[in-house]
Amino acid sequence: MLAAALVLGVAAGPAIVPATAATPPTATATATATAALPAPLPSLETTMPGAIAGLPRADATAALVRVGGTEGSWQGSSGVHDLESGSPADPAARFRAGSVTKVFTAATVLQLAAEGRIDLDRTARSYLPELIPGRYARVTVRQLLNHTHGIPAPDFPGSTVEEWYEDRFRIHSPEEMVRSATAKPREFRPGEKQHYLNIGYTIAGLLVERVTGDTYERQVERRILRPLRLRDTYSPGTAPGIAGPHNHGYQTMRLDDGSTGLRDVSVWGTTDGWAAGDLVSTTADLERFTRALFAGRVVRGPLLEEMFTLPKVPDVKSGDPAAYSAGLSMKKLGGREVWGKTGGRWGYNTAITSTRNGERTLVYSVNSTDAKGQDMNRTAMKVMVATYGLPG
């Protein structure tokens, strides 16, 4: 979503005017070098209040933001806890983190790889022979993590948000989803293209369980949540609600009377996401996790580079260079590389991001009314640009 939507801001970026024949070579070289330098990071006190002002509005009902790093910090919230009461949004509230879950899953797999219990170059089928059929026999663990596996998405009932809402309490098992996906022909040969999907991380969660003899949830808790004291982060399992204080999420859809409006979607099962997208967390917990991850305190040594290495393959849809690594993605904002992960569940958009050197980190939760839209939520985009600058 981030890579697809932030490109809309490129047209607003500074233009680079080519040198004329009369321009001295030294001046051209100097101008080119200057243009290549990252822009100064935005002043948070100047940019951020306006980015989340005016909530609730059509695209979002609340926003929680934490910015940190060596170049200053900022915390703020806007909007309402719920539309009925109109009380202010709780800045410490829990929310659905969506695909930010993939970062936790990738880190868990990479920890197991560091221990010699998982080989990234070994095939997924060699770990799960009864579940991965022969047509996917060459898919490796690394390809599961960087979305170059070629396995399509599983089938889910319904085709509209209204139908999915009616089916929101259905419980999906990971094995059921893998069987549905792997029963189909592959999208491409493993390692040749990239297609961002959940299914690779569903299989990765099952790999964690196979090699440890433990549940995926307990392994994430033991390896990440407990050591980092992330006390407000948890996997909900089959429970459709968010435990503890949380700001309500709303989704634009057709209502019972036939009109289009906002429906409270705070209670919605997430078993379809599991190891790819079911975590509940807070901005404080995710900020602590982001700092620890980028400082090398979650995945240690050479394996951390897997999270900052993009496969040299094209995106299956756009043909653009791959933007996803093992767990993270990369986008250039303000002339610098920003790494992180966005996530979306109905009523909630989340992101964790940082520059490699930790000069600026960002965590946000936006209670968006278009969480599964084709474009990035407008408020979320404003927060990202206010933190790092325009794309490019």
Q: What is the pLDDT of residues 121-142, one digit of tens each?
A: 999 999 999 999 999 999 999 9
Query: Using N-to-C axis directions, what is the helix angle for 199-212 and 174-182, rounded to 10°?
Result: 130
Q: What is the pLDDT of residues 181-191, one digit of tens each?
A: 999 999 999 99
Kindly give the pairing relationship between strand 329-333 and strand 280-281.
unpaired
DSSP track, 243-282: PSSBPPPEEEEE-TTS-EEEEE-SS---TTTGGGT--EE-
Examine the pLDDT at 27 and tell me if it is beyond 60: no
pLDDT bracket for residue 36 (50, 70, 90): low
Task: Classify 194 in phi/psi space as left (phi over 0), alpha (psi -120 to 50) or beta.
Answer: beta
Average pLDDT over residues 215-244: 98
DSSP assignment of 35-70: HHSPPPPP-HHHHHHHHTTT-SBTTEEEEEEEEEST
**340 strand-pairing partners:** 329, 353
Position with higher pLDDT, 305 vs 35 = 305
Looking at CATH, the fold of the domain delimited by 41-388 is given as Beta-lactamase (3.40.710)
Place of tokens 């926003």: 63
C-alpha closest to that of 97 among 308, 330, 277, 292: 277
How do 74-79 and 260-264 pair as beta strands? unpaired
Tally the residues of the chain.
392
Q: Check pLDDT > 90 for residue 267.
A: yes
Res 18 pLDDT > 50: no
Chain-centroid distance, C-alpha 137: 28
Which pTM was predicted?
Answer: 0.91
User: Residue 278 pLDDT more than 60?
Assistant: yes
Nearest to 253, CA basis, from 267, 241, 242, 265: 265
- Which residue matches tokens 């980015």? 51
User: Within 10 Å of residue 236's Cβ, how many Cβ atoms?
Assistant: 18
Q: pLDDT class for 280, splitting at 50, 70, 90? A: very high
Domain ranges of the chain: 41-388
How far is residue 385's CA from residue 147's CA, in Å, rounded to a whole number?
26
- Among the residue ranges 8-12, 79-83, 229-233, the one predicted with the least confidence is 8-12
For residues 17-28, give the mean pLDDT: 38
**Residue 37 confidence (pLDDT):** 78
Confidence of residue 372 (pLDDT cuts 50, 70, 90): confident
The pLDDT score that the predictor gives to residue 323 is 97
Across 340-355, average pLDDT:
97
Specify the pLDDT at position 373.
74
pLDDT for the residue numbered 225? 98
- The answer to which of 38-42, 141-145, 386-390 has the lowest mean pLDDT is 38-42
pLDDT value of position 8: 31
Q: How far is CA 130 from the centre of its chain?
A: 30
Q: What is the mean pLDDT of the chain?
A: 91
Return the structure tokens found at 172.
């999906």
Give the pLDDT mean for 371-382: 88
Query: pLDDT at residue 167 above 50?
Result: yes
